[in-house]
Structure 1
Amino acid sequence: MLAIGEFSTLTHLSVRTLRRYHDAGLLVPAAVDEATGYRSYAPEQIPTAQVIHRLRELDVPLPAVRRILASPDPTDRAALVAAHLRDLEAELARTRAAVASLRRLLEPTPPPLAVELRAVPATTVAAVEGEVAHDDLLAWYAGAMAELDAALRSGQDAGHDTGHDTGPTAGPPGGAFDNALFEVGRGHALVHRPTTRPPRRGRVHPVLLPAVELAVTVHAGPHDDIDVTYGELGAWVVANALAVAGPVRETYLVGPRDTAEPAAWRTEIGWPVFRVAASRTPSGRPGPAGWDAPG
């Protein structure tokens, strides 16, 4: 038998930690003196203590450690550890995204935002839409876009036999997202691909996107700090235009479907605005009737 101090030295777990593990039922001493309360441990408990130590270094919660130790099946134990590692990786990704946004915000001289005023005509698209929680948006987007791609491929393949396919796509994929998604954490989301003959298959159906006037900029790189570009564009709109109600539009000029290199991604963000008086766009080109110069 080993006194608690000896066991602490052998396992690199403090006496205080060993007492806490005892109280939590994780590592019960082999014997406890009824008169003094001294704890004693058996040498064969050392591997268990070391496993607990490694799991706690990975921030595995105490209830999860208890389940891992109680599982007699190595496969089940491995699955429990793997699930926690996935949670850690997700948390690390969120931390990296927050760091990227903070670094960009702390730049002393951020590059000027290039904004174009654009009148977008009504467009027919194949779309998937629904009410989505903001935290679920990325997973929902991936599933919806995969369903869109499959529906368009299926329609074109069927058209080779019937002569009535879905027609060619007329531009990159995009999305439209209600303000409520960002304001209250849940709202309407729509992803689409332009096509001359949208199919009806599963969740995919035709949608006529209405004509809209947009203040447009391009976010370069991964989406970790796209919220900063949103903020910069919103500030530009407040200073130079009249924002109107309506979903913000995104167009995925270059994305994961095009390249695995996040630095090459380009996402166009369009903020709905209303302009008056004919003039010129920020690029110097004549603007459409009913628009005026910014600022």
Structure 2
Amino acid sequence: MARLLGIGEFSRRSRLSVKALRLYERQGLLRPAEVGVGNGYRRYREEQLATARLVALLRRLDMPLAVVARIVAAPEDDRADLVADYWAVVEHRLAVQRGLAAHLRVVLSGGKGLLDMYEVKQREVPEQVVLTEQRHVLQPALVDWIGAAMNRLEKAAGACGGISAAPFVVYHGEVNEDSDGPVEACVPVDVASGPTSTASRVEPAHREAYVRLKKAQVVFPQILSAYDAVATWVKENDLVIADSPREVYFADIAAAGPDDEVCDIAFPVR
């Protein structure tokens, strides 16, 4: 007959407190093998120690109980992947919070250290024809609209020989919870390949001042620090902003990790 361990001994050997064991029992996460009918005394099987120790380690990651329960209940071959998926989400959240903290330090210090956060560069952008879609949109709905508009424009680009350069989004007015732009999604194309019913225009050649952002930095409101950095750099270098600022998306942001470079914040200058 398998040996049963009292809750005190099980607590010591599993490195889980008695209080934690009672909580996990109520949650259905780690139930005793036996509960005394008269005295309610709890006993555990020795082989439950492996599960208990796994729970203890997972909780040290500040993992919510619901996630712990899902990993414990999963087949052993799937557990490592579930932990990796959870930690990827945590790392992305921490990267975003790190950017927000940096943004807040700049805001609360009156802009001090802003240009130390980013490396501003310049480049020449040739004239290009772009398929466009424009909309007045408030910040809470911005990301969804950009994604949908870009999908429509990228499909339409097939009739024009495909996408010829990185898509970009132009902000013709401020976008926040109260101001709605307008915003213009643009996909460069080779119009010599065929006509399209989608609206298009010529984007003139120009020089740009820009900074490159990682995925974790492309989040509102900390992304505003990048805009402020480029605008400040332009002013300090005796240049003039010549057109509306834009976000240039040169990578697949959905597939990127938090530290992957995905986007430029750019201002046409002269």
TM-score (norm 1): 0.55
1:218 aligns with 2:210: yes
1:107 aligns with 113
**CA–CA separation in structure 2 for the residues paired with 1:97 and 1:190:** 26
State whether residues 178 and 248 of structure 1, in contact with CA within 8 Å, keep that contact through their aligned partners in structure 2.
yes
Q: Are residue 200 (structure 1) and residue 192 (structure 2) matched?
A: no
- Residue 33 of structure 1, CA deviation: 3.5
SS of the equivalent of 2:170 reads strand
Distance 1:89 1:185 in 2: 32
Say if 1:220 and 1:207 are closer, same or farther in 2 by CA, change over 3 A: same
Looking at structure 2, the residues matched to 209 and 45 of structure 1 have their Cα atoms a distance apart, in angstroms, of 68
Shift of 1:267: 2.5
Tell me, which stretches of 5 or more residues in structure 1 are unaligned? 115-122, 158-167, 237-246, 272-280, 282-295
Provide closer, same or farther for how the CA distance between residues 128 and 108 of structure 1 changes in structure 2, counting only shifts above 3 A: closer
Q: TM-score w.r.t. structure 2 length?
A: 0.59
Instruction: Give the match for residue 120 of structure 1.
Output: none
In the alignment, what sits opposite 1:250? 246
What pairs up with 1:46-57 in 2 under 5 angstroms? 46-57=49-60
Distance, in Å, in 1 between the alignment partners of 2:212 and 2:32 is 58
Q: Deviations over 1:166-191 (max 9, x none)?
A: xx96x864312476752259886432
Q: For residues 9 and 52 of structure 2, what CA distance do their matches in structure 1 show?
A: 13
Q: 2:95 aligns with which of 79, 93, 98?
A: 93
SS of residue in 2 equivalent to 1:8:
helix
Secondary structure of residue in 2 paired with 1:60: coil
CA-CA distance at 1:99 after TM superposition:
3.9
CA–CA separation in structure 2 for the residues paired with 1:154 and 1:78: 45
| Residues in 1 aligned to 2:59 and 2:181: alpha-carbon distance in whole angstroms | 38
Q: Which residue of 1 aligns with 2:15?
A: 12
CA RMSD of aligned residues (A): 5.3
Match of 1:267 among 248, 265, 268: 265
- Cα distance 1:184–1:175, how it changes in 2: closer, same or farther (>3 A)? same
Aligned with residue 226 of structure 2, among 220, 225, 229: 229
Cα-to-partner distance string for 1:243-280 (whole Å, 9 max, x where unaligned): xxxx953053x9548xx997897531479xxxxxxxxx
Deviations 1:206-262 (A, max 9, x none): 234899xxxx863355472531133467899xxxxxxxxxx953053x9548xx997
- 1:147–1:38 distance in 2 versus 1, CA, 3 Å: same
Runs of 5+ consecutive residues of structure 2 not aligned to the other structure: 121-127, 234-242
* Distance change in 2, residues 1:128/1:78 (3 Å): farther
Count of equivalent residues: 241
User: 1:43: how far off?
Assistant: 0.5
Quote the offset at 1:62 in angstroms: 1.8
CA separation in 2, counterparts of 1:218 and 1:188?
A: 21
Q: SS at 1:182's partner residue?
A: coil
Which structure 2 residues correspond to residues 276-287 of structure 1 after superposition, within 5 A? none
1:127 matches 2:132 = yes
Say if 1:172 and 1:256 are closer, same or farther in 2 by CA, change over 3 A: closer
Contact 2:167–2:250, Cα closer than 8 Å, also in 1: no
User: Is the CA contact 2:213–2:263 (under 8 Å) kept in the aligned structure 1?
Assistant: yes
1:284 maps to: none
Distance 1:180 1:109 in 2: 22
- Counterpart-to-counterpart distance in 2, 1:45 and 1:264: 46
Corresponding position of 1:40: 43
What is aligned with 1:175?
169
Report the identity percentage. 28
1:156 is the counterpart of 2:158: no
Change (3 A) 1:46 1:127: same
Which structure has the greater CA radius of gyration?
Answer: 1
